[in-house]
Structure 1
Amino acid sequence: MSEQDPALFALLNEIGIIEQLARNRFERAQPDGLRLPHFAVLNHLVRLGDGKTPGQLARAFQLTKATMTNTLQRLEARGLVRLEPDPEDARAKRVFLTDAGRARREEAVAFTAADLTELARRADLRAADLLPPLRALRTALDRDPRRG
């Protein structure tokens, strides 16, 4: 990174580095090896509701359908989601969070909450102050027609 880099580029660069460090920290904190992409799917289903197709989830995460199918198969093998036939299209499936999946998502949040609270204290950060501009940036990126 150079001092001449545009501020938004520098910000996105910092966010990328933070994401990598946070991913490693999150995954090390999980006692059963839950990976962040798997947690992200569980979290998405809790936040936005289940019953989505693998294709809808792939688009939401900007992944290939094959990558999302692999992730869902791993989650299904662990009993965290279940795939059911789509009542409107026999060729398609719908993804539903199981009780175990919902509980595992809550456990993952709990495993990292104390650690993140301490980290924020040491860094003298108030998440509530950072969230509004970061959400605005995420929303702008998500709505950008060039997002892929």
Structure 2
Amino acid sequence: MTTPSRHPVAFDFFLEIAVIDQLVGTEMERVLPDGVTMASFGLLNHLVSRGGSESPARLAQALQVTKGAITALLKRLEARGLVALSPDPSDGRGKVVALTESGRRSREAAIAALDPLLETFLAAFPEPDLAGALPLLRRVRLDLNRRRYGG
């Protein structure tokens, strides 16, 4: 593929990642349980990785969405009982989002629903191949994250 970019390899590298992201998102949403979107799955995963709670502003930053988008997502998840919002004890104006037990179970059900998709994928791409790609992908992610925060 030829590109107008002066950096065709880097351009094609990021283009491949973008297309893979779209394709993976579509495949995952196809098998996720009803009502679980990629956005809600990402948020539930993030809360688990952060010990179960986080401020809406930090969630928006981590998931790279606007405050309005995170507010709408949190309202939907709260209405389904997957998260609970409470006042931030360290900042009376702020809120804290906490993963509920129902939210944790929903995440686990989503992961279980993904297992057949992952098994099919592993049949075409064995774990050693994927493990070999992970160091490069992590370095790219860390570099992009540093740039995002001006580091």
What is the TM-score with the length of structure 1 in the denominator?
Answer: 0.90
2:51 is the counterpart of 1:67: no
Q: Distance in 2 between matches of 1:60 and 1:124?
A: 30
Residue ranges of structure 2 left out of the alignment (5+ in a row): none
1:8 corresponds, among 2, 7, 10, to 10
Number of aligned positions between the proteins: 147
Residue 92 of structure 1, CA deviation: 1.0
Percent identical pairs in the alignment equals 42
3-state DSSP of counterpart to 2:52 = coil
3-state DSSP of counterpart to 1:76 = helix
1:140 is aligned with what amino acid?
Answer: D
**1:51-130 equivalent positions in 2, closer than 5 A:** 51-123=53-125, 126-130=129-133
Residue 21 of structure 1, CA deviation: 0.7
2:49 is the counterpart of 1:47: yes
What is the TM-score with the length of structure 2 in the denominator?
Answer: 0.88
Q: Distance in 1 between matches of 2:135 and 2:53?
A: 29
RMSD of aligned Cα (Å): 1.9
Give 4+ residue runs of structure 1 displaced > 3 Å after superposition.
none
Residue ranges of structure 1 left out of the alignment (5+ in a row): none
Contact 2:83–2:99 (CA<8 Å) still a contact in 1?
yes
Residue 124 of structure 1, CA deviation: 5.0
Q: Distance in 2 between matches of 1:11 and 1:121?
A: 24
Q: Distance in 2 between matches of 1:9 and 1:48?
A: 33
Q: Which moved more, 1:106-115 or 1:121-130?
A: 121-130
Residue 114 of structure 1, CA deviation: 2.3
Contact 1:38–1:71 (CA<8 Å) still a contact in 2?
yes
- CA pair 137-79 structure 1, distance change in 2 beyond 3 A: same
Q: Distance in 1 between matches of 2:130 and 2:81?
A: 33
Residue 13 of structure 1, CA deviation: 0.6
Contact 1:72–1:81 (CA<8 Å) still a contact in 2?
yes
Q: Distance in 2 between matches of 1:145 and 1:100?
A: 33
